[in-house]
Structures are given as C-alpha cells and as structure tokens.
Amino acid sequence: MENAGQLATGYNGRGSLAIVNGGRVSTNGIAVVGWQVGSRGDVVVGQDSSWSNTYFLDVGYQGQGSLLIDRGVVSSQGLTSQFFRIRREVLL
C-alpha cells in the first residue's frame, strides 16, 4: 500500500493496522498511531513485512499507541527533521 499523505491509525477512536505476510506500507507524510486524546491505535509489522515513512512516525501522539515489530522492518526518514518518536508503549 502506498499513501501519498498522512496515515493515522486510531485517529479519533480505536484503529488497528496489521502489515503481515510480506506486506509493504509506504507513507509519504506523517504517520501517527494513537492521535487524539482518548483514542487508541495498534500496529503490527510481521515477519518479512515493512513500513517506511518519508517524514516521521509518532506512536502515542495524544492518545495511546502500540507498535509491535515481529521480525519486520520499520523505517522513518525526516525531510527537514529526522526522528522516530515513541511516547507511550512499544513492544519490540
């Protein structure tokens, strides 16, 4: 899956994203897991799967977020600022 803008999992409520079985997700913007207060986002990146971001990835921005990387790959590259920010909980 290729996304030309931002990707939010758990923007205003509960959301989940499973990238498994060799799946590939590419985000050409910001990616947030658990955006708004009271929301929850969960992302799993499974074996031989990947998630790449051209700007930044924020887990638990104002809500709750979890990121499980199970033998997969997650990368994040900033355009002007490069960071991988994790605010709440991360399972590695």
- Predicted confidence at residue 81, as pLDDT, reads 33
- Does the pLDDT of residue 58 top 50, yes or no? yes
Model's pTM, two decimal places? 0.81
What are the tokens at 46? 């499974």
Cα separation, 38 vs 34, whole angstroms: 8
Mean pLDDT of 17-41: 92
Mean pLDDT of 37-63: 89
Mean pLDDT of 42-61: 88
For residue 46, give the nearest of 71, 16, 9, 75 by alpha carbon. 71
Dihedral sign of CA atoms 68, 30, 65, 82 in order: positive
Cα separation, 36 vs 75, whole angstroms: 23
